[in-house]
Amino acid sequence: MIATAVLPAIAQRIAILDFTSASPKDRKRQPKPFPPEIPVAGSCSGVDGTPPLRVSLSSLDKTEYALGDELIYALRLTNTSKLPIRVPTRLSLADMEPEDPAVSYSYEPIEIWLRLQDHEEHGISVLLVTLYGSTERPQTEMELQSGEWFEVRGKAKLEATDRTARRIFADVLVRSDMPPRSGKISDVKALVFSWRGNLLVFDARTQLEYAGCHDFEMSQSLYEGKLDLLPAADKRVR
């Protein structure tokens, strides 16, 4: 759900997107796999490390988590540029799908990740949320003026996303390489980052989905709160 905040004119937060009680819904018409004779389109190389949209982690519901736990978070997405920008706001890919199955459509996702690192720089990367939007459906995006921001609240399972079947768009910082531990890791470094730039086009005639070619935007910031990491229950010393 999207709750628009009524705030004083001097405030910069313009909305709250609260997904803590929501689950993503997938679309009804899934893309077909590409036949061997059709090359799958790739993405352009190049990552902009100073994008206009900045992501930061405002809070977590606990200071200590075990692997496999559910975490509840609050994020802030801020327009740091001097020009207005539009940002995806929908939790479900189903919101991108037209009712008419004969209509092609496009959409742009933005991923928000949490990466936890130990003192040896080994890490676990967790996809917190993917938001979807489309210029074809303006109601699926939010316009941020310079300096404005909105909050995203949600929940996620603390697990290595690259070891699951979840769809991933990001190309960097997504590989988890933290070895199994039997003890507590104190003062874990927590980095939150966003990944944006993919343009997906679903062809209604062929039922194939093509990836557009864009330079990517990547924003990242350190979480200032204290965080400790526990191993999964079956890995703990008894």
pTM of the predicted model, to two decimals?
Answer: 0.90
Q: Is residue 32, in this structure, part of any structural domain at all? A: no
What tens digit of pLDDT does each residue of 51-92 get? 899 999 999 999 999 999 999 999 999 999 999 999 999 999
207 or 236, which is more confident: 207
Domain annotation covers residue 196: yes
Report yes or no on 80 lying in a domain. Answer: yes
Kindly state whether residue 38 falls inside one of the protein's structural domains: no
pLDDT at position 171 is: 87
- Residue 103 resides in a domain: yes
> What's the number of domains the chain is made of?
1
Closest CA to 76 of 134, 12, 124: 12
Sign of CA dihedral 168, 62, 60, 220: negative
- The domain containing residue 159 runs over which residues? 2-22+44-235
Structure tokens at 109: 């996702």
Distance, CA of 152 to CA of 173 (rounded, Å): 21
- Give the pLDDT confidence of 103-127 residue by residue, as tens digits: 999 999 999 999 999 999 999 999 9
Q: What integer pLDDT is reported at residue 181 of this predicted model?
A: 82
Kindly state the average pLDDT of the residues 25-39.
Answer: 85
- Does the pLDDT of residue 5 top 70, yes or no? no
Give the angle 219-90-69 at the CA atoms, nearest 5°: 70
pLDDT at position 36 is 77
Residue 30: inside a domain: no
Q: What average pLDDT does the chain have?
A: 89
Would 36 be classed as within a structural domain? no
Where do we find the tokens 């690259």? 162
Backbone angles phi, psi at 203, to 5 degrees: -90, 110
CB-side neighbour CA atoms (13 Å) of 179: 5
Cross-strand pairs, 109: 132
pLDDT computed for residue 215 by the predictor? 75
Mean pLDDT of the region 216-224: 94
Q: What is the mean pLDDT of residues 122-134?
A: 97
* Range in 35-49, 60-74, 143-157, 159-173 the model is least confident about: 35-49
